[in-house]
Amino acid sequence: MAATLHRLRSWLGAALAAATLSMACVSVAEAAPTPTTDGEVGAQIVGGSRASTSTYPWVVYLATSSGSQYCGGTLVAPNKVVTAAHCTVGDSASAVRVVAGRDDKNSTAGTVARVTKIWIHPSYTDATQGYDVSVLTLDRNLSQTPLKFATSADSALYAAGTSSTILGWGDTSSGGSDSRYLLKATVPLTSNSTCAGAYGSRFIATAMVCAGYPQGGTDTCQGDSGGPLVAGGKLIGITSWGDGCADAGIPGVYTRVATYAAQIQAQL
pLDDT band at 171 (very low <50, low <70, confident <90, very high): confident
Q: Which of 10, 91, 103, 132 is an active site residue?
A: 132
Q: Known catalytic residue: 225? A: yes
pLDDT tens per residue across span 91-120: 999 999 999 999 999 999 999 999 999 999
Domains recognised in the chain with CATH numbers: 2-39+58-138 (2.40.10.10), 152-259 (2.40.10.10)
Q: Distance between CA 191 and CA 208 in Å, rounded?
A: 11
**According to the model, what pLDDT value does residue 232 have?**
98
- pLDDT for residue 178 is more than 70: yes
> What is the mean predicted confidence (pLDDT) over 246-265?
97
CB 219 within 8 A of CB 187: yes
**According to the model, what pLDDT value does residue 9 have?**
61
- pLDDT for residue 203 is more than 90: yes
Q: Which of 86, 171, 178, 224 is an active site residue?
A: 86
- pLDDT for residue 19 is more than 50: no
pLDDT tens per residue across span 26-58: 223 223 333 333 333 233 347 779 999 999 999
Q: Known catalytic residue: 94? A: no
**According to the model, what pLDDT value does residue 13 have?**
42
Q: Known catalytic residue: 121? A: no
